[in-house]
Structure 1
């Protein structure tokens, strides 16, 4: 028989333990990505050309290299330079920075959508740069970004499976370990795929609903 229910029942508790790690990694990496993406977007608007150039090359360097290469570099190469990182810590940081570089574009678009008059009004009121960002620009820019940022959250959840390549026992890591121990692949890999679908599809539907609600609210307020 191709599918063995006994094997599926045996691997299930391990997958649930791995899922907890996957969710934890996703949440921590999302926090890093949100902050890093916002920082890059703000630096791109700096009045100092040197700051803009540095932030641009940081952004491009992260975007133009595969996530897997970044994970391997951080986990296997950095220790040779004296920088030791636990697999999970390494994965969270690299995943957060990688996705954050893409979130920066979402932030940039949201910030650019804020009417120029808002910037001019802030200058007329002699607001400090910090007060301008915190009190005027970001409160208007962030709400329309939420659906797009949410899509990257779902993407990060899926991309977290790559952390199994650096010995993180997340959902995919537990499935691979079980498969290597028992030489049974169909049950753990099928269940992992179903678990990812069971979480990703409702999340995508919820984000689409949220996007429609925001669009409807914008039309009513226009």
Structure 2
């Protein structure tokens, strides 16, 4: 097999379009994971044992189910119940919900790691519960978990090829389509892999700088 540089240059624009879709899915899916994960974590601290256990089992079920199965359920099964989402929207929701169960555990660990004295000081000052959470506890917790949250961002990015299963033409899908039309898969698949590596490396470096600036030991 000989590498065709001319063909490689021809497929790059299509792969860049796929990369754009991949990045969109990653960013919005990750935002859902961050917000919903925090909701799960706070609900797990509810004084209601019923609510606590219900959230625990829901998150365990989602975390224990393959992501591809969840994407198929959202895109192919929910329409039978009257909930129809576009392919990219379904992919973003699926990625976000799936990874929210992991970020929830990260948040929970960060909250548990906040020194007990911070809670006691807040109670001694008679601070409102909302202010205790958003002005005292969560800022300290998040600083402790920045590295782990960053790792899940990269993991989510690398899982975006699963979206091909629900017809989203992301980076890998663009490479596959290019190969299917030309019957030459070496160049598009290899270039797609290089794009994944490049974005992952850049993201890792950016997250490392963020960690050095804001994270605490």
Question: 1:87 Cα shift?
Answer: 0.3
Secondary structure of the structure 1 residue equivalent to 2:161: helix
Q: TM-score scaled to structure 2, two decimals?
A: 0.93
Question: 1:213 Cα shift?
Answer: 5.8
> Is the alpha carbon distance of 1:213 and 1:131 closer, same or farther for their aligned partners in structure 2, counting shifts above 3 Å?
closer
> Is the alpha carbon distance of 1:194 and 1:115 closer, same or farther for their aligned partners in structure 2, counting shifts above 3 Å?
same
> Is the alpha carbon distance of 1:13 and 1:113 closer, same or farther for their aligned partners in structure 2, counting shifts above 3 Å?
same
Aligned to 2:48: 48
Comparing 171-180 with 60-69, which one deviates more in the overlay?
171-180
Number of aligned residue pairs: give it.
Answer: 217
Aligned to 1:147: 147
Residues 70-114 of structure 1 show CA distances to partners (whole Å, capped at 9, x for unaligned) of: 011111111122211100000000101111110111111110011
Matches within 5 A, 1:86-105: 86-105=86-105
Aligned to 2:76: 76
Matches within 5 A, 1:16-27: 16-27=16-27
Provide the rounded CA distance (Å) in 1 between the counterparts of 2:85 and 2:213: 42
Aligned to 2:175: 175
Comparing 115-124 with 91-100, which one deviates more in the overlay?
115-124
Give 5+ residue unaligned stretches, structure 2: none
Aligned to 1:158: 158
Give 5+ residue unaligned stretches, structure 1: none
Q: TM-score scaled to structure 1, two decimals?
A: 0.91
The RMSD of aligned alpha carbons is 1.7
Secondary structure of the structure 2 residue equivalent to 1:130: helix
